[in-house]
Structure 1
C-alpha cells in the first residue's frame, strides 16, 4: 500500500485529499509547513510527496530543494500543488527537483491520475535500479570468474610447458647418464686389470673404442639438452630485450630473404616479396628475424619435404595503424588437426628427426604477447599454408 505525504498549510486542502486518498487505499501522512514536512518525509519514508508552494516560513521551493539535498529523501518524487500558474513558477518548481505540477483548484481525477503515474514511474525506477545492481553483481561475478579462468588457463599452460620441458630434457640427459655410467664402469674394470698387470691389448683397444663411442654419445646428448634449454629460454623472451628501429621494409625483408636462402646449401625454391618501395616503419628487427626465420624453416623442412620446387611469398602492406604480413608457401600443407595445433608447445610431426616442436609456439608468443599482434594459419593438404599476421605500427 503506497504512502503519500501531503504538505499544505490549508487544512481544507488536507481534508479533501485525505478523503480522496482514503477512498483509494493510500496511507496518507500530513504536514502543515515545510519544516514539519521535511521531518515527516525522513521518518515516514513516503512513496510520493504532494507539496504546496506558498507556505509561511519555508516555501515549497525551498522545502523541495532540502528534500533533494538529503540522501534519505532525494529519490522521493515530489508533485507541486499551487495556485501559481505562470511559466516562471513552473520552471522554478522543476528546477528545484519536482517531477510534476498541479494547479489549484485541482480536479480529484487529475490528482489521482498523476499520483498513479508517478508512483508507477517510481516503482519502475526502483525495479530498474535493482536490476542494474543485480546486473553489476553478475558482471562482477563474471569478471571474477573470468580472472580465475585466465589464471587457471595460465597455470594449465605452464603445467603443460613444464611437463614438456621435463620430458624433452629427460631423454638426452638420461641417455647421457647411461653412457657416462657405462664409461665409468668400463674405466674401473680397465683400471683394475691394469693395476693387476692383466690388461691384454685387445681389451684395451675395445675399451678405447667404447670410450670414444660413449663420450660422443654424452657430448651429443649434452648438446641436444643445451639446444632444448636455449629454445625454452626463447619461449620466455623478454619483451623489452631490444629497441625498435626505423627501416625500409622492402629492403629489409629482401636482405632477410637473401640471408635465409644462404643458410641452406641447396635451395631450389623461389621467393617473392610484395611491398611498396618507400615504406618506412619502426619495427623490432630481432623479433621479426626470428619470426620470419621460423616460418621459412617451417616451409623448407615441412612444407617442401621431398619437393624439388616450391614458392615462398611475403606480402606486406600497412592499413591504418596496423601492418599486415601474409606469408605463403605452396608446399604440402596440413590437415585440419595439424593446422589447429600448429601453435601448441611441443607439437611436431618430426620428433623422430629431432624436432622439439617449440618453433611455432615461440612465433605465436612473440607476435601476440611481445608485439601485441595476431597470427592466423590457413592450410589444406596439398594446397600450401598461409600465415596472416597483423602488428600494431609503433608510434615514433
Structure 2
C-alpha cells in the first residue's frame, strides 16, 4: 500500500511526502496492513509510548503498547469490520465518528502507559482502501486527553463538593430556621409572661381598691342600719354615711373605668386579622376620620394637626387597625408630649416607596429620652405611671404594625427634639396562612 512504484518517479515523491507528513504529525498514528502487521509507527508514537518504531514495524505486537495480554487494538477491529469484537473489547464506550465517514472513536483509560504514566486516550480508527475500493489496512490516530479528563474529574469533584456543601448549608439553614422559631417562641412566651404579669399588676390596684371600698361601705351600711333599727341614728351620722357613699361610689367608678380601659387594651392586643375586614383604603381620608373624632380633645389641649398625606394613596389593607394606630398615637401625644394647656403641633406624612408606604408621625412635644428607645414598645412601659397611662398604647401599635398589617416600625431621634415615628407598611397587607396561624405572607 505504501510501497512506491520504482517505474513511477511521481509515486516515489508522493510516498516521501506522505511519510514526512505522517512522521511530523504531532499525534501518534499507527497504520496496519491487511495482515494486521504494523506499517507505520510515527515519531509521535515513539515519544508518547516510549517504544521505537523498529521494535514494532512488520510485527503484530501493536497490542503490547496498550494491553498486558494479546488482543486487538481498535484498528484491528475496524479492519475486520467485526461488530461483536467492538462490543467485546469496547463495551459501551465506542461510537461512530461524527467527523469521518466509516470511522469509529473511543475514549479509554490506560494505566502505566508509556514512561509508566497513567493516560486517558481518545483514538479514532478507519479502514483504508486502494483505488479499486478494496480494503488494504487500517489507520488509527491517538490523542492524549489526560489533562482534559483530569480537569473534568476535578470539576466533577468540585461539583460534588459544592453539592455536599450546599446540602450541609441547607441543613444548617433548616437548623437555623428551627432555632429562630424556638427563639421566637421563647420570646413570645417571655413577652406573654411579662404581659400577664403587667396585666395582673395593673388590675390588682383598681380591683384591690374596689374590694377595700366595698368592704368599708358594707361596714358603714351595717352600722347605719343598726342605728336606724335602734332609733339612735342622728342627722349628722346619716350625712356622714351619705358623704362616704358618694366618695366610695366615685372611687369605685374610677377604678372600674381603669379596669375596663385595661381590658379594652388587652382586647386590642389579642385582635387578629380575621376580626378585620379587608378593603381598598384611601389613607388620607382614613386619617381624616380619626382627626375628626379627636377634634374636641385636640382643641382642649391646643394641639394643631397637619395631615400632609398626599391624596390618592391607596392600600389593600385593614382600615380599623390603621385608625387604631393613629388614635393611639394622638392619645399618646396628648398625654405624654405636652404639659397641661401647652400648645403643640402634630405632623402626619406619607410617601410611596416601590410597593410600600412609609408613614412619618411627628410631634413637637418633649420627646423620649434615647435611653428609653429600647423600652417604648414594651407592654406597660409609661412615663406617666399613676397619672392615667397604662403603658399599652405603643405596645398595641407595635403589634398591629408588625402583625396584621405586616409592616415595620422604628422610633427616630429628631435633631430639633420632639417625637418621630416611622411606620412602613406594604401596599397590600399580608394574608394569614391559616385562621389560627400568626405568621403571614405577602
| Counterpart pick for 1:272 among 306, 309, 316 | 306
2:349 alignment partner in structure 1: 315
Which ranges of structure 1 fall in alignment gaps of 5 or more residues?
1-10, 20-52, 62-79, 94-99
Q: How many angstroms apart in 1 are the aligned matches of 2:178 and 2:63?
A: 56
**1:191-233 deviation digits (Å, cap 9, x = unpaired):** 4444444445444433333233223322321221111111110
Q: How many angstroms apart in 1 are the aligned matches of 2:258 and 2:104?
A: 88
| Counterpart pick for 1:353 among 374, 380, 387 | 387
| Counterpart pick for 1:55 among 78, 86, 110 | 86
Aligned partners of 2:356 and 2:424 also within 8 Å: yes
Return the structure number with greater helix share: 1
Q: Report deviation, 1:369.
A: 0.4
Q: How many angstroms apart in 1 are the aligned matches of 2:324 and 2:271?
A: 11
Q: Report deviation, 1:375.
A: 1.8
Q: Report deviation, 1:157.
A: 0.9
| Counterpart pick for 1:339 among 360, 363, 373 | 373
Q: How many angstroms apart in 2 are the aligned matches of 1:359 and 1:317?
A: 24
| Counterpart pick for 1:190 among 224, 236, 244 | 224
Aligned partners of 2:306 and 2:347 also within 8 Å: yes
Aligned partners of 1:335 and 1:380 also within 8 Å: no
Under a length normalisation based on structure 1, what TM-score does the superposition of the two structures give? 0.70
Cα distance 1:144–1:394, how it changes in 2: closer, same or farther (>3 A)?
Answer: closer
Q: How many angstroms apart in 2 are the aligned matches of 1:219 and 1:268?
A: 28
**1:122-164 deviation digits (Å, cap 9, x = unpaired):** 5444444443333333222222211111111111111111111
| Counterpart pick for 1:261 among 292, 295, 300 | 295
Aligned partners of 1:334 and 1:380 also within 8 Å: no
The question of 1:103 aligning with 2:137 is answered no
CA RMSD of aligned residues (A): 3.7
Cα distance 1:133–1:322, how it changes in 2: closer, same or farther (>3 A)?
Answer: closer
Which ranges of structure 2 fall in alignment gaps of 5 or more residues?
1-60, 70-83, 108-119, 125-139, 430-442
| Counterpart pick for 1:164 among 198, 211, 214 | 198
Q: How many angstroms apart in 1 are the aligned matches of 2:313 and 2:414?
A: 32
2:363 alignment partner in structure 1: 329
Q: Report deviation, 1:277.
A: 3.8
Q: Report deviation, 1:278.
A: 4.4
SS at match of 2:373: helix
2:131 alignment partner in structure 1: none
Aligned partners of 2:360 and 2:422 also within 8 Å: yes
**1:34-82 deviation digits (Å, cap 9, x = unpaired):** xxxxxxxxxxxxxxxxxxx963379633xxxxxxxxxxxxxxxxxx5x6
Q: How many angstroms apart in 2 are the aligned matches of 1:187 and 1:366?
A: 47
The size of the alignment, in residue pairs, is 327
Q: Report deviation, 1:342.
A: 1.9
